[in-house]
Amino acid sequence: MLVLGFETSCDETGVALVEAPLVGAPRLVADALHSQATMHEAYGGVVPELASRDHIRRVLPLARQVLAQAGRRVQDVDLVAYTRGPGLAGALMVGAGVAVALAAALDRPALGVHHLEGHLLSPFLACPPPAFPFVALLVSGGHTQLMRVDAVGRYDLLGESIDDAAGEAFDKSAKLLGLGYPGGPALARLAESGDPRAFALPRPLLHSGDLDFSFAGLKTAVRTQVGKLGTHLGEQPRADLAASTQAAIVDVLVAKSLRALKETGLVRLVVAGGVGANLRLRAALDAGAARLGARVHYPPLALCTDNGAMIALAAALRARHGLADATRAGAFDVRPRWPLGDLSRPVDT
């Protein structure tokens, strides 16, 4: 089965082709991505209308590029997948519109994929893929969640952020430090030349005894430190504050993930979402999990942030597991039943 996937939920236009044999691991055949980061940088964040217009400009050329790269014709596509939410309404409409129209023209099914399920299943594009069951740490720009995953479509929420997500903590702290957009990678870069012990920042909910997170207080603490330093916010204190912020976020994510492994008795941890690209987080998770005799699985580094491959892959896995109810083109309100609060809403904008 050849799946063409479209991701247009925010500021990246991603298109990919995934080949999913009836048995065996699905394979990424070709993918293309256009990031709008430089376009939004001047505004310090994503401007929704500009994002939608750019998706419109990019989506078809990227689709042609992917098909050419794979040496396949559009008629070879068996299933068209797209991100149905959560995300920016206008941006989502571009991917959904193109995917559903294409599916109708080809007389193939169209399948709307939950963006977070795309992230969650993206480590199945790595080698070796994880085996079920596992604990998943989902750390995207807007969500921080720990889940128990028993199979495709069987997700139990163990804990989540009660306010800001870890990605938001990175982005908002980066903004306070005068770094550009997107903030996470910029803060991580600056942190490399800083001392993570220079500032004693809070580790919110570290000892709360549950698997929930809270990062809003950390951002406030960073703001307080920036205010105290005032005009003395020179290069080294900035780097030290960046390193201390990153260390606080990493400490909490690692402690809660290890706690989830211990509580569930599982020995595999899957990490997905943009913050999963953070190398300090990866090193600390690897070391912590190894102490428990557990193993950590990540998507390939380039597939941590938004991309079309994860959408095509999630659609392929859902279809293969018979969960898809892959609909004929036009009916794109496919609702996976997840006991995950906002994850179960059809299109969450």
Do the bridges between strand 134-139 and strand 27-35 make them parallel or antiparallel, or are there none, so unpaired? unpaired
Q: Report if residue 7 touches Zn ion, rule: CB under 5 A.
A: no
Residues 120 and 136 sit within 8 Å (Cβ to Cβ): yes
- At closest approach, how far in Å is the CB of 92 from ligand KG4? 12
Q: Report if residue 196 touches ligand KG4, rule: CB under 6 A.
A: no
The residue range among 32-40, 46-54, 220-228, 268-276 that interacts with ligand KG4, by the rule CB under 6 A, is 268-276
Q: Please name the residue that has the structure tokens 């799946």.
A: 3
The residue range among 89-97, 135-143, 282-290, 334-342 that interacts with Zn ion, by the rule CB under 5 A, is 135-143
Residue 155, SS3?
strand
Binding mask 277-296 for ligand KG4 (x = CB under 6 A): xx------------------
Query: Binder to ligand KG4 among 306, 316, 334, 348 (CB under 6 A)?
Result: 306
Judged by CB, which is closer to ligand KG4: 36, or 305?
305
Judged by CB, which is closer to ligand KG4: 185, or 202?
185
Judged by CB, which is closer to ligand KG4: 108, or 238?
238
Cis peptide preceding 26, ω within 30 of 0:
no
- At closest approach, how far in Å is the CB of 306 from Zn ion? 4
DSSP string over 81-94: EEEEESS-HHHHHH
Query: Binder to Zn ion among 8, 83, 140, 307 (CB under 5 A)?
Result: 140
The residue range among 229-237, 300-308, 318-326, 335-343 that interacts with Zn ion, by the rule CB under 5 A, is 300-308
- For residues 72-111, one letter each, b for 16 or more C-beta atoms within 10 angstroms of the residue's C-beta and e for the rest, the string is beeeebbbbbbbbbbbbebbbbbbbbbbbebbeebebbbb
Q: Report if residue 83 touches ligand KG4, rule: CB under 6 A.
A: no
CA-nearest of 325, 309, 324 to 18 is 309
Q: Report if residue 308 touches ligand KG4, rule: CB under 6 A.
A: no
Q: Report if residue 171 touches Zn ion, rule: CB under 5 A.
A: no
Structure tokens at 233: 């916010």
The residue range among 28-36, 97-105, 134-142, 308-316 that interacts with ligand KG4, by the rule CB under 6 A, is 134-142
> What residue spans of the chain are helical by DSSP H?
37-41, 48-70, 89-106, 115-121, 166-176, 183-191, 216-229, 235-264, 279-291, 308-320
Judged by CB, which is closer to Zn ion: 67, or 137?
137
146 binding partner (options ligand KG4, Zn ion, none; Cβ < 5 to 8 Å by kind): none
Residue 151 neighbours by CB distance under 10 Å = 11
User: For residue 67, how far is the Cα from the chain centroid?
Assistant: 25
Judged by CB, which is closer to ligand KG4: 115, or 259?
115
Structure tokens at 341: 């609060």
Q: Please name the residue that has the structure tokens 């939608």.
A: 52
Judged by CB, which is closer to Zn ion: 140, or 245?
140
Cα–Cα distance for residue pair 184/142, rounded to 1 Å: 12
Q: What is the DSSP code (8-state) at residue 234?
A: -
Phi and psi at residue 29, to the nearest 5°: -90, -45
Judged by CB, which is closer to ligand KG4: 310, or 316?
310
Query: Binder to Zn ion among 106, 306, 314, 343 (CB under 5 A)?
Result: 306
- At closest approach, how far in Å is the CB of 140 from ligand KG4? 3
CA-nearest of 288, 206, 199, 292 to 246 is 199
Q: What is the CA radius of gyration of the chain?
A: 20
Judged by CB, which is closer to ligand KG4: 19, or 168?
168
Judged by CB, which is closer to ligand KG4: 91, or 269?
91
214 binding partner (options ligand KG4, Zn ion, none; Cβ < 5 to 8 Å by kind): none
Question: Which residues of the chain form contacts with ligand KG4 (CB under 6 A)?
Answer: 119, 140-142, 167, 170-171, 182-185, 188, 273-275, 277-278, 305-306
Interface ranges with Zn ion (CB under 5 A): 140, 306
